[in-house]
Chains A and B, each alone.
Chain A
Amino acid sequence: MSELHQIGKSREQLDQEAAALLKVIEEKKAAGQVLSPKERLAIPPQEMPAQDPIARGKTVSEVALGYSEAQARLEAERCLNCKNEPCVKGCPVQVPIPRFISYIQKGDFKAAVDTIKETNLLPAVCGRVCPQEKQCQLECTVGKSLKDVGKAVAIGRLERFVADWERENGKVTPPTVKPRTGKRVAVIGSGPAGITVAADVAREGHEVVLFEAFHKPGGVMVYGIPEFRLPKSIVQAEIDTLKKMGVKIETNFLVGRTRTLKQLLEEDHFDAAFVGVGAGLPKFLGCPGENLVGVFSANEYLTRANLMKAYDAKKAATPIYKSRIVAVVGGGNVAMDAARMALRLGAEQVHVIYRRTREEMPARAEEVEHAMEEGIVFNFLRNPTRILGNEQGRVVGMELQQFELGAPDASGRRSPVPIAGSEYVFDCDTVIVALGNESNPLLVKTTEGLVVDKKGRIVVGADQKTSLDAVYAGGDIVLGAATVILAMGEGRRAAAAINELLAKK
């Protein structure tokens, strides 16, 4: 198990231990000595302080508390500043990682965060929700030398630290913007892909309007990822930076209905458009009983809880279903978020139902561990065959079938095989379906000539250009449901192509 299982040390303890070690290093440096790679590898990886697992199950406040200054500076000293920068190659938006970490080593946190913002306008978000163990930290030389990706330099936590430091100390400055070019770009969807495009295009001096259907910008960062993983005030603060760059945000605007994409390009004088509308259409189980009262898509459950703040029943007008025993079907991050949210909303028992085993779960290891610490029960090798209701049409249970693992499938994961006759009844009053999302067909349906594949994903070239002139797309509407950072990577490529196109116009 990784460091995460050694929970128990308080924030103060961790800070004091780090400060003591840091003092030794600082004295060495002051004496003109240089730390050898061996000495850097000997520095212990800094553990992230977290709220107590039992207490946090009752509130929506953030679980992970963030590094102290001493912890951040000590963790930064573990970076070897590799010439070939393998970590940068692992980052979908190519944050200059060794450069920003070297500023932390010098104690210049503002220079560090400004360095990140050269390519990533959402460091406080990415530092929290990126699967770093599969990206930048997977490539880290320190992790490789110590033969444990869990011991790689904690790039994400450092990114989070400097972004939080900047915001909490009132030192946020928007990136510089070139003189106005008079060209206009419509960005449709204000999730991670759209925000990245808006920032990169605005930097070049183009006028950007960001269109959002919801009443708040941020996409999955505001409706999907819960407060306890990503506080909404932080998302808001990062989006405010966009506004300071001159980006206009139009909420309550559904492209395809309020105006069509064609109207934006032909009548409203936009020179280019980026489509980053995500994959928001939830999949359901396709089994009997799924229209019973008490069956929800994870999207609905999380939107009610996060965006509509139903967790605060006194203040929020939006209701949320009162549950005693909740069953969440699925094994991804969304399933973990829904399960952990249900617990915070007062459910007595929360169960995760997953067809495979823990090894095959697509959710981040850290989230699974957090969920287990909080008391969520995992039922592996199970899948519902039908949902059972009472005479009022409300859920009272599910019939679950047992599975075993068969041969690996095309994706390399061992496929689940149902065991005949193994069905049994599982009592629950709420079922949350977290089986993933498909692309929302609305924009495609109302845009003639936009080519999509069989699954409704927009087809793009290497530069993210769609079948339509001056229209680019990226993020989940192209990839299918993926991650925040992959969406941002696509956004960066699209923005570069849009900037190139507009330079020629």
Chain B
Amino acid sequence: MNRIVKKTQLSAEVFEMEVEAPLIAQNRRAGQFIIVQIDSEWGERIPLTIADADPQAGTITMVFQTVGASTHRLAAKQVGDYVENILGPLGNPTHIEQFGTVVCVGGGIGVAPLHPIAQAMKAAGNRVIIIIGARTKDLVIFEDRMRKIADELIIVTDDGSYGRKALVTEPLKEYCSQDPKPDLAVAIGPPIMMKFCAETTRPFQVPTVVSLNTIMIDGTGMCGGCRVSVGGQIKFVCVDGPEFDGHQVDFDNMMTRLRAYKDKEEEDHHVCHLELQIESMEA
């Protein structure tokens, strides 16, 4: 059982939670994720990234957005409550070395999983440029933490309410056009954002790593629910990934597969929002 030791609401729909998980805190490396399940009987298993960890305190930090029934239930938990099941660390760690200049692009909640990677890239002696993108000002997360790591930090919002009014691909393209061009790009965020980041870097031949967030059940390689097509081959995101060469990923198929249970998810989201509204009215 994993006790919640800290909970912070980062924006309207985004929460940060620090939970006790000593073995994961000790062994996790940048790029890895966990599977979380709120209750063993009826709960579903959902993949979340490890945004940070404190091996001394034996805690890990997860950041999540309330998009469905399980994330809403998780968000309703308080400090001192428990998360019944956490499995991890899962997936292959990010390949970290001194590449030179690394552009790290994070969209929305994707900034959280990007954080430990940017941190490790910096620690390995890279010049780290960070681009944070969000729909609007209130959804920008981790700005201070990223500023500590970044040699250069650019914030963009879709509506221009904070930072530049642009999509992340704009500054990314500018960096790719510079001479010397970046040695590596890392993009994490919604699939559509990662797809366009990969399309942006492709003509410049800047190697681009993406971290895929597919549907998962076990997270250990035994079901193939998370499979994607990479370079025409079937890969399992949970054991072969989650990171792949962005120029090889079939994002269109991945996005189609992500919509498999859309009906149920939308219904859950709707119900959860109603429940939250009722709760706040009662309070």
Chain A interface (Cβ < 8 Å from any Cβ of B): 213-216, 251-254, 257-259, 280-282, 284, 290-294, 296-297, 299-300, 303-304, 308-309, 312, 315-319, 321, 392-393, 437, 440-442
**Contact of A303 with B88 in the complex, beta carbons under 8 Å:** no
CB distance from B83 to the nearest CB of A (A): 10
CB distance from B71 to the nearest CB of A (A): 11
12 contacts between A and B (CB under 8 A): A213-B218, A213-B220, A214-B218, A215-B37, A254-B88, A257-B89, A280-B222, A281-B221, A318-B44, A321-B260, A440-B239, A441-B221
A282 and B249 alpha carbons, distance in the complex (Å): 21
Interface status of B43 (Cβ within 8 A of chain A): yes
**Contact of A317 with B260 in the complex, beta carbons under 8 Å:** no
CB distance from A257 to the nearest CB of B (A): 6
- Given the known interface contacts A252-B87, A257-B90, the answer about A293 and B259 at a Cβ–Cβ threshold of 8 Å is yes
Q: Among B88, B217, B229, point to the contact of A258 (Cβ < 8 A).
A: B88
- Given the known interface contacts A252-B86, A303-B218, the answer about A308 and B44 at a Cβ–Cβ threshold of 8 Å is yes
In the complex, per-residue mask of B17-47: 1 if CB is within 8 Å of any chain A CB, else 0: 0000001100100001000010011111100
Chain B interface (Cβ < 8 Å from any Cβ of A): 23-24, 27, 32, 37, 40-45, 69-70, 84-90, 217-218, 220-225, 227-229, 234, 239, 250, 253, 256-257, 259-261, 264-265
**Contact of B257 with A291 in the complex, beta carbons under 8 Å:** yes
A393 and B259 alpha carbons, distance in the complex (Å): 10
CB distance from B225 to the nearest CB of A (A): 5
A293 and B256 alpha carbons, distance in the complex (Å): 7
- Closest B residue to A297 using CB positions: B224
A122 and B219 alpha carbons, distance in the complex (Å): 28
10 new A-B contacts, CB < 8 A, other than A293-B256, A317-B43, are A214-B218, A215-B85, A251-B85, A253-B23, A257-B32, A258-B88, A291-B250, A297-B225, A309-B42, A440-B222
Q: Among B220, B228, B256, point to the contact of A442 (Cβ < 8 A).
A: B220
CB distance from B14 to the nearest CB of A (A): 21
**Contact of A299 with B84 in the complex, beta carbons under 8 Å:** no
CB distance from B93 to the nearest CB of A (A): 10
**Contact of A215 with B84 in the complex, beta carbons under 8 Å:** yes
**Contact of A297 with B261 in the complex, beta carbons under 8 Å:** no
**Contact of A442 with B234 in the complex, beta carbons under 8 Å:** no
CB distance from B115 to the nearest CB of A (A): 20
**Contact of B217 with A309 in the complex, beta carbons under 8 Å:** no
- Given the known interface contacts A257-B89, A441-B239, the answer about A304 and B221 at a Cβ–Cβ threshold of 8 Å is no
A297 and B215 alpha carbons, distance in the complex (Å): 14
Q: Among B87, B250, B256, B261, point to the contact of A254 (Cβ < 8 A).
A: B87
- Chain A residues within 8 Å of B224, by CB: 282, 284, 296-297, 299-300
**Contact of A284 with B234 in the complex, beta carbons under 8 Å:** yes
- Chain B residues within 8 Å of A216, by CB: 40
A254 and B85 alpha carbons, distance in the complex (Å): 13
**Contact of B222 with A281 in the complex, beta carbons under 8 Å:** yes
A179 and B24 alpha carbons, distance in the complex (Å): 34
Count chain B CB atoms within 10 A of each CB in A259, A282, A292, A440 and give the residue with the most: A282
CB distance from B261 to the nearest CB of A (A): 4
A259 and B24 alpha carbons, distance in the complex (Å): 9
A291 and B215 alpha carbons, distance in the complex (Å): 13
**Contact of B234 with A291 in the complex, beta carbons under 8 Å:** yes
- Closest B residue to A320 using CB positions: B261
- Closest A residue to B26 using CB positions: A259
- Chain A residues within 8 Å of B264, by CB: 319
A297 and B223 alpha carbons, distance in the complex (Å): 6
- Closest A residue to B2 using CB positions: A252
- Chain B residues within 8 Å of A293, by CB: 256-257, 259-260
- Given the known interface contacts A258-B24, A299-B223, the answer about A319 and B261 at a Cβ–Cβ threshold of 8 Å is yes
- Closest A residue to B255 using CB positions: A393
- Closest B residue to A300 using CB positions: B223
- Chain A residues within 8 Å of B41, by CB: 309
A308 and B85 alpha carbons, distance in the complex (Å): 13
**Contact of A299 with B27 in the complex, beta carbons under 8 Å:** no
- Closest B residue to A293 using CB positions: B260
- Chain B residues within 8 Å of A258, by CB: 23-24, 27, 87-89
**Contact of B27 with A317 in the complex, beta carbons under 8 Å:** no
